[in-house]
Each structure stands twice: as C-alpha cells, then as structure tokens.
Structure 1
Amino acid sequence: MLFWQQIVLNTQDQSIMKFLTQPPRFLFFTGKGGVGKTSIACAAAIQLAETGQRVLLVSTDPASNVGQVFGINIGNHIIAIPNITGLSALEIDPQAAAQVYRNRIVDPVRGVLPDSVVKGIEEQLSGACTTEIAAFNEFTALLIDSVLTADYDHIIFDTAPTGHTIRLLQLPTAWSDFLEAGKGDSSCLGPLAGLEKQRSQYTAAVDALADPVRTRLILVARAQQTTLREAARTHEELAAIGLLQQYLVINGILLAGETEGDSLALAIFEREQAALNAIPDVLKTLPCDYIMLKPFNLVGLDALRQLLIESAPQTPVAMDSPIELNAPTLSELVNGIAADGHGLVMLMGKGGVGKTTLAAAIAVELAHRGLPVHLTTSDPAAHLTETLNGVLDNLTVSRIDPHAETERYRQHVLDTKGAKLDTQGRALLEEDLRSPCTEEIAVFQAFSRIIREAGKKFVVMDTAPTGHTLLLLDATGAYHREVARQMTGGIHYLTPMMQLQDPKQTKVLLVTLAETTPVLEAANLQDDLRRAGIEPWAWIINNSVALAQPHSPLLRQRALNELDKITSVADGYSQRYAVVPLLKKEPVGIGCLLELSRYAGD
C-alpha cells in the first residue's frame, strides 16, 4: 500500500488531530523554517478556544508573523484576538523586552550614581547578550505559575526555526547551571539584576519543560527528506534535555488525485512519497498527524479554521485561465553580482524560503565562471554540504558552528587575558566564559572574520532565518557603536557594520515566496535593514508555482494566488528582483544548482 493511501485511511474519520487530544497546558510547535509552524499553531489555538478553553498564543520568533496571519497588530503585549472568544496572543519582541530590562536596572540608579557610571551601565547593557536574556526572561515567565498566566488553560508557543528554538529550550538549564555554580561574573545579567530571582524562575521553567503532564512538543515537518531529518535531530536533542512528550505533524502533503495530467504535480507527489517511506526510524514511534496541501493562503480566520480539516472545500478554478508571468530570472541577477569581481553577498529571509539553495546556486555559478568564492552559513540548521553534494574548483565551503566558535573564543580569551591572571582570577574567568552569552560574542566574531574576506573574493552567506539574523545584526551594530565611541582624533577605522552599509562591498538579497506572510516578512526585514543603514540590493521570489505553469487544479489555484504577490514585489518593494520556479527535480548537486542559476524559462 502506498503511503498516501495509508494517510487517507488513517484520516477519513479523524475529527481531531492526535496532537490536540487531551492537550497539556503548554504546547510547543517547532521545526525547520517554512514547514507551517505558525499556521498550525494558530489553527490549534483557534480550535481549542472554540471548545471553550482560554488560550494564550505566544510567538518566541524574533521575526514573528502571527499578527500577519490574523491580520492584526499584536506586538510585545497580550491582546485579545477579535472574533475568537477566549483567545489572546503575544509576540515576544526582543528589542522591546531589552528596553524594559534596561530600564528596570538603570532607572533606580539615575540621579543616585554619577552620570558617567550610569552611562557605563547603559553601554554594558546595549549588546545582543542583553537582548537575548531579556526575551528569554519573558519566555520563562510564561512557564511558571503567576498572575500573568493564571487566566489561561493552555499556552501555545509558536517558536522560531529549529536552531534558534533548540537554543531557547536549552537555555533554562544552561542558565540554571551557570547561576547554581555561583562563582561567575554576573555581568551578563546586568548589574543589580537580582540573581536569586532569576535562579528560581529558571529552575521552575526547567521543571515545567521536563514535565510530560504539562508540556507537549509538536515537531512540524514537510514530506521532504531535509525537514524530516531535521525533525529527527530535534527530537533527539530535546529528548536529551528531558522534553520527552513529542508528537509529529507532517504538513502540506499533495495527494495522488492532483497528479493526473500534470508532470510537475506527479514529480512532487513521487518525491514526497519517497521521503515519507524513508522517514527516520526515531520518528516512526511518535504519534503522527498528516495535513494535506491546501489551495488557499493560510491568512485569516476562515482559512485557519479549514487547515486542520481534511475535507476542506476547494475553490473551483477555470482550467483555461491564463497564468501570464514574465519576470527577470536568477541568471540576470548573477550577471550583476559577477560584474564586481568580489564582494559580500548575503541572502536573508524567513525560514523555509530557500536561502540555502539559492546561496549555493549563486556561489556555484560564480565559481564556475572562474571567480574565487567562499560559501558559508550562519544558520545553525543549514545543510550546505547536502545541498552541494559535490566539490567545485574555486569554491570553499564553511559553516559558523556556534559550539566550535564558542570553544575557540573561550580558548583565545584564556590564552590572552587569562595568561596574566593568578589562579583565582583565571578560575573566575573560566566561570564567566561558561555563560550562555559567550556564544553570541563568539558567533559575532566568526561572522566578522569571514566577511573581511570579501575584499579579495566573493563571500556568499546563507544567513539564519530573519529573527536570528536580526540579533546578529544587533550585535554588529552594538560593536560599531562601541568602536565609534572609543575612536577619537580622526583615527580611521572600519567595522563590519560599515561594510554591510556600503553597497560597493555588500549586496543583500531578500528571499521570499509568492505568498502573503513571506512577502510581508521580507518587507518588514527590508524596513529593519534600512533603519540600520543597509539597503537591500534585490529580492528573489523562490519556488514560484506560477512560473512552472502547472495543470493540477490545486496547483493552478495556488499559481493564480501568486500573481498579485509577485506584482506587489515588483511595483512596491524592489526595482531589482528575480523569480525562480518550483522545479520538478529538487535542486541538489552541482549540476542541478547550475541549471537553477541559469534557468531562462521554458
């Protein structure tokens, strides 16, 4: 029996998803970017609220799009969702949380301590480390019994893509261990922060996460080998820290009925079936739900209510409706990049839009032209080597590994600053370097080191999903401000931020899909970059169904839905853009990546 037949049999009479059966108080949705975590979390929240439960939906993604899904502004405060009794939402905003955190520490000493001391405290609290801890404190406050959470039967967490989420869920234990040692410098938590209060809150958070009666983790994946492998890795990493109550949801499956007379639909179907039949062994034991691909965008209450219903009605589409799309290609963008001979090319965007594939395709094409290229990634969950699946002259590949970079940074500090300390001082320094904040500093230094190479060659960087990238840029900005403050008397200096702001040295490519929320998120990212003095060079609209000219009714409806989104990019967001089609064959391997970079239409 084919896997899709099993799915149909298993879901025919299913009125509720397994992951929503007897739900605990805390539900975490996690997975690789673009698998549908936000949509499923929102749909689950609606379903629970409409059964009379009081539900708080929380986004821990620094680039949350929960508000976009509901069509409202949410932000860093709890608000009621209109037209859904019992449902409220909160988007944890790291920057807003950091400002509240700084005010709480600094305001009591203003007018008490000298202005120079207060300014020093503010400088100490201006970095990315403070931003992460402030957001983390808001997250752990939701896992303990308090006035803040007393009104809710269920708290649903829509998390950032996997790499960031694993770090978030590991942090309660990391900070508890660090504080329990009681020997380290407390500077990462800020002066006068009150370590005892933090210790008790983090301990309570650890207990809640490890309690299967209170916490359930839902791993969301697509019927794709990469997302299923990542779900398997996430399962094992989080099980190792005690999160054992795990469920699996496989989203966006194309059924066989859509393949008739459509070679693209048939190729997608066969690819998905191969991935489902080769599902990693560690996932086979988990309770599993399947969600079929829908023809509509998952925005608004009506669409969200239909997501978890397998018999959702489809909008009829006229098979002779023209799908007219004439758009610039990726090859045209690569020509413009290659003309400079060297430079930094950064691909940014929402998780799951295909940054890794497009970064690899651009790097491969530049290297194939004889240009020296360093392809790298700052995404903890990226799989560049799997995408390349081969080697090429003129191309080197690396990954900013947070664990390796942290160890390198710790050793460097011990060899330099530590070499001048006595035994007691060195022991204190070693304790301080065990702080989870050390990772942020180490990753920033690795990022800075790599982009310096762009003066002599091409450096193509596949960045982490939007929220994590913004935190990295926050660290870059904090470093720039500190250097600028210290450099006086006309001394010449060049910071990584100055390089990112120089269009002659850096080209930022925003990657999106022709769907509502990815386009809105890319637009918000563009606004954030502009506020930092960084002007995106171009947009890439990836995996376009419209450009692939499908025949399946479901895919044609999705293709027609894309056209106004592509127009909005061309007319409202970027004069320079390219559209890349959804391909029959996955773009894996040097040859396929070259085909993708040179695609000129059928």
Structure 2
Amino acid sequence: MYQPFNPKVAVNTPFLFFTGKGGVGKTSTACATAVFLADQGKKVLLVSTDPASNLQDVLDIELSNTPLAIPSVNNLFACNLDPEEAAKTYREKVVGPYRGKLPDSVVLTMEEQLSGACTVEIAAFDEFTSLLADPAIVEGYDHIIFDTAPTGHTLRLLQLPTAWTGFLEESTHGASCLGPLSGLSEKKDIYSKTVAALSDPAKTTLVMVTRPDESSLFEADRASQELREIGITKQLLIINGLMKDYVPTDEVSTSFYLKQRNALNKLPDSLKQVPSFCLPFVSYSLTGIDNLRFLLKHYTMSASETPSTAQKYDLAGLKEVIKDFSINGTRVILTMGKGGVGKTTMASTIALGLVEEGKKVHLTTTDPAAHLDFMFRDENINELLTISRIDPKHEVEAYKNEVLSRAREELDEAGIAYLEEDLNSPCTEEIAIFRAFSEVVNRSQDEIVVIDTAPTGHTLLLLDAAQSYHKELARSTGEVPESVEKLLPRLRNPKETSVVIVTLAEATPVLEASRLQEDLKRAGIQPKWWVVNQSLYATKTIDPVLSGRAVSEEKWIEKVDKELAVKCAIVPLINQDNSGYKHLQNYVK
C-alpha cells in the first residue's frame, strides 16, 4: 500500500526536520534515520529541541547541549537542546529589566505571556539556529537531523518586521501567549538566513511523521499546508506504526487493523500529493541502537523477544471513575490531554455513565467530528442528557475580530500584521473557547457539566494575570467577561470541579501529560484522575505483535500509577466495529 521508508532512497538534503503531533514517533523515527545514515558512512548530527524529548532513552546515553559521539554507532553525534531552560533564560532577559520598576502585577502578566508553548518554540528555534549559524558545525556533517520542527505560525511570526520592535511591551490589545520578541532582536539576521535555508529544497526536507489514525493524519495535513504556504515545499510523509497483518481470530487485532485501513482511506487529498512511506507497527520498544536498526529493516518483532500477555496491574476502570464523581457530587468535569488520546470518547463515556446513575448531565465538546447527537440518539438517554458543541473556528474568529477592532484605533499597519499573526497562536484558541465554556459551566447549578478539551493552566494564568493588569493599570490584555472571572475560582475548587487527564501508555503522551499537570498545578488545579486509554496491556490479545507492544506499555502504566496520578484508571483498546451509544457502553463496562 505504501513504500517502506528507506532513507537511502528518500533522503537527499543535508537538513532534515521531523515534525508531527505528540506520540506519533518523531523521536524514534528521527533516531532510526540517523543511525541508518551513519551506518551508510555519513557523518550525522542528531539534535532534539522537543520539551518532552526522550532522545536520551532512545539512544541509551546521557546527552547535553554539546554534540556527543554515540559510542555504538560510528559517525553519529547527538545533542539534546533544552528549550524549557532556553525559554526561562529568554523570559528573564525580557522581564528582568522591569523588576522593581513596574508593579508586581504587570511583571506577572509579562512573565505569563512568556510562559506559553509558542515562547518555548521560539526559544527552541533560537537554540537550533545557533547550531546552523556555526559554519564549523554545518560543514562538519553530511546531515543534521532535527527532532521537532518549528510550526508555520512561528516561522511566519519571525518573518514579520514588527516582531523585532518589541511593540507588545506597550501593546495590551490581545491576550498574547508569545509576548515581545525584542529579547532576541540581535538575532534577526541569523533568523532570516535560517528561515531562508528551511525554504530551500536543495538544503531542507520536512519529514512529517503520522500514525494511521484520523486525528494524526489531520494534523499532518494541517502542518503540511501551513509550512507549504511559507515556502517549505520539500516534504515527505511517514505513516508510522502501520500493521502489516492481523490475526482473524483475535477481535482486538482485527479491529486495530481495520481501524488503521479505514483512516487511511480518508487520507486528505492534499497529503496524497506528498511522497509517502510507511514504517511497521512493532512489538518491541524503540529504545536502543539494535531496535532502531530493526525498525528500518521493517522487522515487526525483534529476534530475541518473547512476548508475554501476563496481566499484573489491577487498576480501576471507567466505572470507578464515574462512581467517584457520582458519590462526591462533582459538578464540573474536564477531560484534558493531547490530541488523539481519546478525550472526546472519555468525556462522552463519563457523561453516559453519570446519566445511567440517574444524574442530569450536560456534555460540551469542541470536536467537530464527535457526532455526539448520533452517539446519544437513544430517547431514554436524551431525557437526562443535553449536548452542545462549541465551534472553535467561530469562537476564534469572533475573539480575533474583537481584539483587532480595538487595536486598529492605535496600531499602524505593521503592528496590526504582527498582532494578527500573534492571534494565530494556540493560546488564542484556548482563550476564545474558554470564554464560550464559561457560559456553559454556569449550567452546573442545575446539572453536571462535562467539558471535553479544557483550557491549560497557562491559559488560566494568562487570563488571571490579564485581570490583575486591568485592575492595576486600568487597561486589559483582552476583555475578561464576568462569567470568566467567576469561573477561575470554581475551577480551583476540588469539591466542585475535577480534571481527568487522558493519556496513552507511551513515552511522549505520558511525558506531555505530565507537563500539562504541572501547568495546571501552577494555576492552582490538582488533577484527580488519570485515565490510560486504548491500552493493549489491558486486553487479552493473542496477536504476537500486539501482545509484545502490551508488555512495553507496562513501565508507562507504572509511572502514571506510582508517580503522577492521585488516582489512575485504565481502559483497554475496545473493538472499533461498534459505534454510537453501544460503543460507549462498552467503555462504561
């Protein structure tokens, strides 16, 4: 169906940038490519700029921000840049001069504006730009491979002249997650050259890594189009984790295989134009040099592996999660996690379970593909359950128009262009949706409200800081409605509100969920439940490849249960042939 990925055939540029949503296998694919090219006699530098990087685990060696030779692979060098630390340094460089000169609330607002994902990405861009600006490094390697590419939003922002004026130090028109770029103003020329190199098809290949599931493919398509618009046209698509075959007598195996094929049948037309390759779904953990070599030989099982399906963990299921909320009278329930982990399904199932407990429930989602009305079309369910869907696109446009209409009275054309791009950041969507959510949560006086896709701690703190700024200086980083002002304390009240973090039993989803939890704790919110979703470990599969992968999930389940979660539940991979209400009932059971 797809040509197996072979770097010898697919790679012909010195710079490779791997991109894709969390958990699709960017790091393992980048590492396997680096090892393959080094084995071919190429001198290769592998660089990670991922805040949730597990590069050290994959290569089984401690790394720093200085390139280090990998002992077991001739010609391979690697370094692990820390964008979080870089962002911290960047924040202090921008904010430091104002400490003691401006009110504490103003400084707090500036710090929070510089705490978002976009700022971390800018800092990461600064780190790898420093490498590319060093002729000794660029000329010293045949290939430089970057694990995690910058988004189109960040690159467009860096191309705008106003980005370097620091006008946001004075502007308070939008709830920016990026803040002033003046802290990096001396790097303008270097950045321009780097962006130009990224757009040169003779120098750079963008490798989009995806899973064969609808949400990952949608994200790959979005990234492809966004980066193509700014001139990064040399692109490859790698469909990672593709099952080659299935065991017909194994319900889990059959369902998993068919789900992947159904998703690929819906591949967006624009992605069909991109040269595409595949890597197999493997039973072994993608850590260690030998396993990385196995991957690009397209082995599904390692030679020394003896899969086991022994079930050692006896964790709660969703039934216990639902019972806990019912007994404790929780009024607002928020499901959170990265895209593709099953937040919408978990929110819908929790709502269904509470309805079956006799509770009156309102379910809200931002997922346009959730088809909740179809899932809950049963008349008996509709008596106690109401459903609404917030349209992210509509809410974002309304918010952006509101902010820009105020800004146009004071900013020039260049300032407006910068602000428009800054409003394309992920935090803008969170803030816009949060304002709509705040209206829905008012319903919790009369019914339980279950919210799919909640705002992060950073967004909450950004809105909170905006309020403080408004009170101190009588000006605001965006109007904060009364419903939002009341909602913040309610979300921080554990007797009223509970957060469910949804993850998969894999490295990146767990590490990113851990960062999300820390983000929430900064905002004064302690998640109560973690749900490990779509677990093969919790099934009784006899498929040798799937059961091998089930074993590799164990350490991540243990990490969630023992280190991260107050309470932990596990949900097995469910037969995907069922749909709607019946499908959700399987999760409750």
TM range (shorter): 0.7 to 0.9
Equivalent in the alignment of 1:216: 205
Matches within 5 A, 1:343-492: 343-366=331-354, 371-377=360-366, 383-385=368-370, 390=375, 393=382, 394-399=385-390, 401=392, 404-413=394-403, 430=416, 433-436=419-422, 439=425, 440=427, 443-444=430-431, 446-451=433-438, 453-457=440-444, 458-463=448-453, 469=456, 471-472=458-459, 475-476=462-463, 478-479=465-466, 482=469
1:28 matches 2:17: yes
The answer for the alignment partner of 2:240 in structure 1 is: 251
C-alpha change, 1:39 and 1:571, in structure 2 (3 Å) is: same
Counterparts of 1:176-325 in structure 2, within 5 Å, are 176-177=159-160, 179=162, 187=170, 193=182, 197=186, 199-256=188-245, 258-259=246-247, 261-277=249-265, 279-311=267-299, 313-317=302-306, 322-323=310-311
CA distance in 2, matches of 1:74, 1:496: 43
Contact 2:70–2:76 (Cα < 8 Å) also in 1: no
- Find the counterpart in structure 1 of residue 83 from structure 2: 93
Among 550, 553, 562, the alignment partner of 2:544 is 553
Distance 2:25 2:86 in 1: 26
Check the 8 A contact 1:357/1:587 in 2, yes or no.
Answer: no
Q: Which moved more, 1:429-438 or 1:245-254?
A: 429-438
TM-score calculated relative to the size of structure 1 = 0.77
2: distance between equivalents of 1:120 and 1:575? 32
CA RMSD of aligned residues (A): 4.2
- Cα deviation digits, residues 61-91 of structure 1 (max 9, x gap): x44443444456657x445365355422234
Q: CA deviation at 1:363?
A: 3.5
State the distance in 1 between where 2:463 and 2:57 align: 28
Query: How far did residue 328 of structure 1 move?
Result: 1.8
Does the C-alpha gap of structure 1 residues 417 and 212 become closer, same or farther in structure 2, counting only changes over 3 Å?
A: closer
Work out whether 1:578 is the aligned partner of 2:573: no
Does residue 535 of the first structure (1) align with residue 526 of the second (2)? yes
Determine whether 1:126 maps to 2:111.
Answer: yes
SS at match of 1:126: helix
Specify the SS of the correspondent of 1:317: coil
The aligned residue for residue 154 of structure 1 is 143
Question: Alpha carbons of 1:370 and 1:263: their partners in 2 closer, same or farther (altered >3 Å)?
Answer: same
Q: Distance in 2 between matches of 1:526 and 1:181?
A: 33
User: What displacement does 1:210 show?
Assistant: 2.1
Code of the aligned partner of 2:44: R
For 2:422 and 2:395, the matched residues in 1 are separated by 13
Write the distance in 2 (CA, Å) between the matches of 1:135 and 1:79. Answer: 21
Change (3 A) 1:555 1:133: closer
- The one-letter amino acid paired with 1:361 is T
**1:42-61 alignment, distance < 5 Å:** 42-50=31-39, 51-60=41-50
Identity %: 29
Query: Is this contact kept in 2: 1:542–1:579, CA < 8 A?
Result: yes
CA distance in 2: counterparts of 1:102 and 1:564, whole angstroms = 35
Alpha carbons of structure 1 residues 187 and 462: separation in structure 2 relative to 1, 3 Å: farther
Query: 1:270 offset after TM fit, Å?
Result: 3.1
> Quick one: structure 1 residues 527 and 100, their matched pair in 2 at CA, closer, same or farther if it must change by over 3 Å?
closer
Give the match for residue 490 of structure 1: none
Whole-Å separation in 2 of the counterparts to 1:533 and 1:73: 34
Q: Residue deviations 1:73-126, cap 9 Å, x none?
A: 657x445365355422234434x333322333455x58xxx9424968744531
- Partners of 2:553 and 2:108 lie apart in 1 by 46
d(CA) in 2 for partners of 1:498, 1:79: 47
Normalised to the residue count of structure 2, the TM-score between the two structures is: 0.78
CA gap 1:429/1:63 in 2 versus in 1, 3 angstroms: same
Give 2:154's aligned residue.
171
1:327 aligns with 2:326: no
Inter-CA distance 328–197: structure 2 relative to 1 (3 Å threshold): same
Decide whether aligned partners of structure 1 residues 591 and 451 sit closer, same or farther in structure 2, where only a CA change above 3 A counts.
farther
Give the CA deviation at 1:537. Answer: 0.6
Which amino acid in the other structure matches residue 153 of structure 2?
Q
Query: Unpaired segments of 5 or more residues in structure 1?
Result: 488-492
**TM-superposition CA deviations, 1:517-571 (whole Å, max 9, x none):** 5445544544554455332211211112232201122222233444454455444
Say whether the 8 Å CA contact 2:23–2:507 is kept in structure 1. no
Contact preservation (8 Å) 1:356, 1:384: no
| CA deviation profile, 1:333-352 (whole Å, cap 9, x unmatched) | 12222445553323333554
Secondary structure, aligned partner of 1:116: coil
- 2:477 corresponds in structure 1 to none
Q: Measure, in 1, the Cα distance between the counterparts of 2:396 and 2:29.
A: 34
- 1:217-265, CA deviations, whole angstroms, 9 ceiling, x for partnerless residues? 2222223344334433443333233221111111112222x41542321
Q: How far does residue 139 in structure 1 lie from its aligned partner after superposition?
A: 0.7
Query: What code does the residue aligned with 2:434 have?
Result: F
Is contact 1:184–1:431 with CA below 8 Å preserved after alignment?
no
The aligned amino acid for 2:315 is A
Question: 1:475-514 deviations in whole A, cap 9, x for unaligned?
Answer: 3564477589789xxxxx9675544432123212222333
Mapped contact 2:502–2:530 kept (Cα < 8 A): yes
List runs of 5+ in structure 2 lacking aligned partners: 172-177, 475-483
Measured in 2, the distance between the counterparts of 1:345 and 1:500 equals: 9
Once residues 271 and 249 of structure 1 are traced to their aligned partners in structure 2, the CA distance between those partners, rounded to angstroms, is: 18
Aligned residues: 555
Deviates more, 1:246-255 or 1:77-86: 77-86
Shift of the alpha carbon at 1:186? 5.9
